[in-house]
Amino acid sequence: MENFHGFFTGSSTLAAAAALGHGGFHGGKGNGLSGLMDVPASLNVHGGVLSQNESFVDEIGNLARTETKSEKKKGDKKIRKPRHAFQTRSQVDILDDGYRWRKYGQKAVKNNKFPRSYYRCTHQGCNVKKQVQRLTEDEGMVVTTYEGTHSHTIQKSNDNFEHILSQMQIYTSSF
């Protein structure tokens, strides 16, 4: 699972945890979420928000889309950055992973009554994106999809996130 190299810089614990999930997540179109795998875990996020269930899915993105329009004119490659879906049971959409995110869009998605929010890492030169989406079937479930890899360290104090990680329990019996 080399794709998680550098993912969540400064917290190899989560990278290792994410490596547990080998999802058949067909990203992009259709009911991609149906391919998510559940990895029972317990976690406290944001100090007070309860999480009872989580799952990780990694995807080697192979969709035909370049990142920006400016690059698009010459970019003929169909290579896309790996995307990593992170499913969490939480009452809030925003999981504070230590990075600073700026919201740049929100769209209503089909087959889902909740909108999907698009965020970009505000660190200069870091074009990591993430999208946050709540499931219609279970509004307590939030899916966060990361795209790209952070090329810098976490700007905020790691303490909170490390605390979260320390409380994380990954059950590997399913794999």
The residues of the shown chain that bind DNA, judged by CB under 7 A, are 28-29, 64-65, 67-69, 72, 100-111, 116-119, 122, 129, 131
The enclosing H or E element of 167 equals: helix 159-167
The nearest distance, CB 120 to DNA, in angstroms, is 7
Nearer to DNA, 39 or 86 (CB): 86
Q: SS3 for 12? A: helix
The nearest distance, CB 33 to DNA, in angstroms, is 11
Number of helices and strands (H, E) in the chain?
Answer: 3, 8
> Is 88 in contact with 51 (CB distance < 8 Å)?
yes
Nearer to DNA, 26 or 174 (CB): 26
Nearer to DNA, 89 or 120 (CB): 120
Distance CA 58, CA 82 (A): 8
The nearest distance, CB 127 to DNA, in angstroms, is 9
